[in-house]
Amino acid sequence: MQTEILLAEHLDALIRALNQAGYMVIGPVRDEAAIVYDEVHCAEDLPQGWLDEQEKGHYRLLPSGDNRYFGYTVAANAWKKFLNPPERLLWRARRVGGQIEFVPQSAQAPKLAFLGVRSCELHAIRIQDEVFIHDAHRDDDYNSRRQHLLTVAVNCTRAAATCFCASMDTGPEVSLPSDLVMTEVVAEDSHYFVISAGTEAGQAVKDGLPLRPASDDENAAALAGIDAARWQMQNGPRFFDNSDTKALLYRNLESPVWDEVAERCLSCANCTLACPTCFCSEVEDTSDLSGEHAERWQRWDSCFNGDFSYIHGGPVRDSTASRYRQWMTHKLATWVDQFGQSGCVGCGRCVSWCPVGIDITEQLQRLREGESS
Amino acid sequence: MNTPRVFTVLERRPDTHDTVTLTIGPSDGQPLPGFTPGQFNMLYSFGAGEVPISFSGMPSLPDTYTHTLRVMGKATAALAALSPGDQLGVRGPFGRGWPMAELRGKHVVVVAGGLGLAPLQPVLEALAAQPEHYAGSQLFYGGRRPQELLYTERLAAWAEQFEVQLSVDQADANWQGHIGVITQLLASSRLSTDNTVALVCGPEIMMRFTVQALQQRGLADSAIYLSMERNMHCAIGHCGHCQWGPNFVCKDGPVFCFADIAPWFFRRAV
Amino acid sequence: MKSVAQFVREHSLFEGMDAGQVDFIAGCGQLQRSAVGNYLTRENDPADCFYLLLEGRVAIETHRPNQPAVPLLTLNANDVVGWAWLIPPYRYQFDARAVTPLRTVRLDARCIRDKCETDPTLGYELLKRLSAVMLSRLQCARIQLLDLYANPSTGGKVPSR
């Protein structure tokens, strides 16, 4: 692939080019003590010089000691909220003189450019595409947002302790098509991005940037960064062999491990909200006092919520153990049967944002140990 | 598929103290999509909410849908209160129905419990209308009390075409049918197991015992179909509520071949 | 016209049983017809016989003062009516009433009981077969207790209009 060099001092040119092409740019910004995805107007909005320290139930921003823009790993929130909003009005209805009229509500999808999408996150977006687009029933609203999306992916040159994309085979190197792909390199006397285009839309944006061809050394430096991130994960405590995960879970539906984790799990739903692939939603039907107007709202929901599995008489999964089993088994096993791939991309958000520090990779390990004991 | 279509109630018939049958037609007068028995619609009562209800009418009637519903909450109570001329919202048809084509030439054993007769009514009408297309038919229908059995006139009509065995949990001495459980009748009846397909719909406990009774009688898992109930909201596999193991009950079911779901059927709290 | 022995042999209770044992049991039996409303057993009567139901429907009932009889379950062709003969004090616990005209084989329980005391092989074989019947009745009674078909919503009622 043809790679070129965008000097770090020209990063603003990329944001400007995206704006000029009609895109609102969404990227990483510091929001108090965390990095989140939000609107970005210039390179100065990016969290330059900061990195994230992540562990079980732990997230801290620390000075990175260098001037990297993308020294952090993944933001606290996932991109999914821009493609599948947490709350959406589906339709309004009127009843006048006994006659009902429904008015579908669908907003014009904005042209969004995601700046700084990690490989695991590209995989997560593709997984949600399988749910909402590549199905007998297509979610037109989601599809329209996807059609208007441009991605600027960034290869990871550092892994957080919670990262396990190397186990899930979803990173750290960008392994799905992206309009643009960049790798940030900070050397002793230089700071640049190795950049390439994966689509015509990406090429068109790239054409307007001040670039020069990348040298072999520069390409090698970029790859060395990615290798470093991979090495970190492969030699970290969360690395595991994912080849039989589905079978492991199917063998262990009645394992005592579920009861053990349920003693800690608060059923708070944080993991499902932080997860970039969790897609469940609920609808609420409302009407006004006059009884003439009604609305249907769709909102994110979670399989950890008590009424999620309600059928007349009560919820099917009324214990935390059954709900945690549902979540983890869905993510790592039944998802494969449903959509042909795992529902986990190894981003580690569920590990960091669990208030009691439950770690999905550790739970897998416990299931495995339970079998051999 | 997200926005309901406006329908008008054409006919309302109370079946029992808590169950009513509505016949509805599209208010715009435009043609209706066809359906397979066993599929369902989402019925919306203005401001009160939306519920999944199976088709209980004949697919051969192209201008109307018929739904039997039981009052269980706010939305079903509001739907049951509708009068002819009132309007409601309808989304559908959704899901997979009974394997109608596969029934041809087979001996068909229908086992229904309580409200579970509703989604099987169009199947039974088909069996009764063209008995020559099937090797034979039997209906086993269990209910709570004689006065809570659905479609009593149709039960009598079907009984003229094929064997109909009724069972209730409680009855007074005037009741001529069986008192006990439907599985007893299944165990003691003449049941051919060759070239036979069983269709089962009722409360989940009843279906568990029924599947076991059918297996004991020698029916293969692949010859047993049943209709599952889970929390169906969006009806198109997007909201996640009706997940049951690897299945979305709304789009992979509600009718499943038992052979496909056997690993999940007896498992708790999935 | 089939003989008593043929009916006994073909009844599900004795399926696959040793021919000599079945013949002995058939020797204790006689064919009987009962009209609608007749009782095969009456609560608290000595349990001196039991019945193989060949045709018809029997209601097992109890009674309350000033109330109609309460049917608990019904038995149909190929079922067995009565097992109180097997266990002391050998008294029927319920009434068994003919809901439809019946054809049964009425078996003399005293004759079979006495034989079982001296022939434990036959006794054990019969006990196993009747235990299966009792187990099935117990399971059915439990399922009935579940009130499976009740509306889970207590307020469930079609609105009156």
ipTM score of the complex? 0.93
A272 contact B CB<8A: no
- pTM equals 0.94
pLDDT value for A106: 82
- Higher pLDDT: A188 or B39? It is B39
Sign of the alpha-carbon torsion through B256, A332, A314, A90:
negative
- Cβ of B243 within 8 Å of Cβ of A322? The answer is no
Q: By percentage, how much of chain A surpasses pLDDT 90? A: 94
Residue A96 structure tokens: 């006048």
User: What φ, ψ does residue B183 adopt, rounded to 5°?
Assistant: -65, -30
pLDDT tens track for A191-234: 999 999 999 999 999 999 999 999 999 999 999 999 999 999 99
Q: By percentage, how much of chain A surpasses pLDDT 70? A: 100
State how far the Cα of A79 lies from the Cα of A177, in Å rounded to an integer: 17
When CB atoms are compared, the residue of A283, A301, A319 closest to B269 is A319
Model confidence at C153, in pLDDT bands (50, 70, 90)? confident
**Coil, strand or helix at C16:** coil
Q: What is the mean pLDDT of chain A?
A: 96
Q: By percentage, how much of chain B surpasses pLDDT 70? A: 100
pLDDT tens track for C57-85: 999 999 988 888 999 999 999 999 998 99
Taking a contact as any Cβ pair under 8 Å apart, which residues of chain C between 69 and 128 contact chain B?
69-74, 76-79, 97, 99-100
- pLDDT over 80 at C1, yes or no: no
Contact B264, B227 (CB under 8 A): no
Q: How many CA atoms lie within 13 A of A31 on its CB side?
A: 12
pLDDT value for C18: 94
- pLDDT over 90 at A290, yes or no: no
- Cβ of A291 within 8 Å of Cβ of B47? The answer is yes
pLDDT value for C161: 63
pLDDT value for C158: 85
pLDDT tens track for B95-126: 999 999 999 999 999 999 999 999 999 999 99
When CB atoms are compared, the residue of B3, B50, B231 closest to A310 is B231
Q: What is the mean pLDDT of residues A51-59?
A: 97
- pLDDT over 90 at A25, yes or no: yes
pLDDT value for A1: 62
User: What φ, ψ does residue B18 adopt, rounded to 5°?
Assistant: -125, 10
The DSSP secondary structure of A142-165, one letter per residue, reads HHHHHHTEEEEEE--SS--TT--H
Radius of gyration of chain A (CA): 22
pLDDT value for A291: 86
When CB atoms are compared, the residue of A104, A132, A309 closest to B231 is A309
Closest C-alpha among A53, A46, A37, A40 to residue A70: A46
Contact A162, A127 (CB under 8 A): no
* Closest Cα in chain B, distance from residue C10 (Å): 13
Contact A30, A46 (CB under 8 A): no
- pLDDT over 90 at A372, yes or no: no
pLDDT value for B60: 84
pLDDT value for C2: 84
Provide the strand spans (E) within chain A. Answer: 4-7, 24-31, 34-39, 50-55, 58-63, 87-96, 99-104, 112-117, 149-154, 180-186, 191-197, 212-213, 281-287, 293-300, 310-311, 314-315
Q: What is the mean pLDDT of residues C118-145?
A: 94
pLDDT value for B239: 94
- Cβ of B209 within 8 Å of Cβ of C156? The answer is no
pLDDT tens track for A66-95: 999 999 999 999 999 999 999 999 999 999
pLDDT tens track for A233-259: 999 999 999 999 999 999 999 999 999
Closest C-alpha among C127, C68, C133 to residue C95: C68
Q: What is the mean pLDDT of residues A35-62?
A: 97
* Closest Cα in chain C, distance from residue A312 (Å): 6
Q: What is the mean pLDDT of residues B196-200?
A: 97
pLDDT value for C10: 93
User: What φ, ψ does residue A47 adopt, rounded to 5°?
Assistant: -80, 60
* Closest Cα in chain C, distance from residue B31 (Å): 30
Q: What is the mean pLDDT of residues C87-112?
A: 96
Model confidence at A325, in pLDDT bands (50, 70, 90)? very high
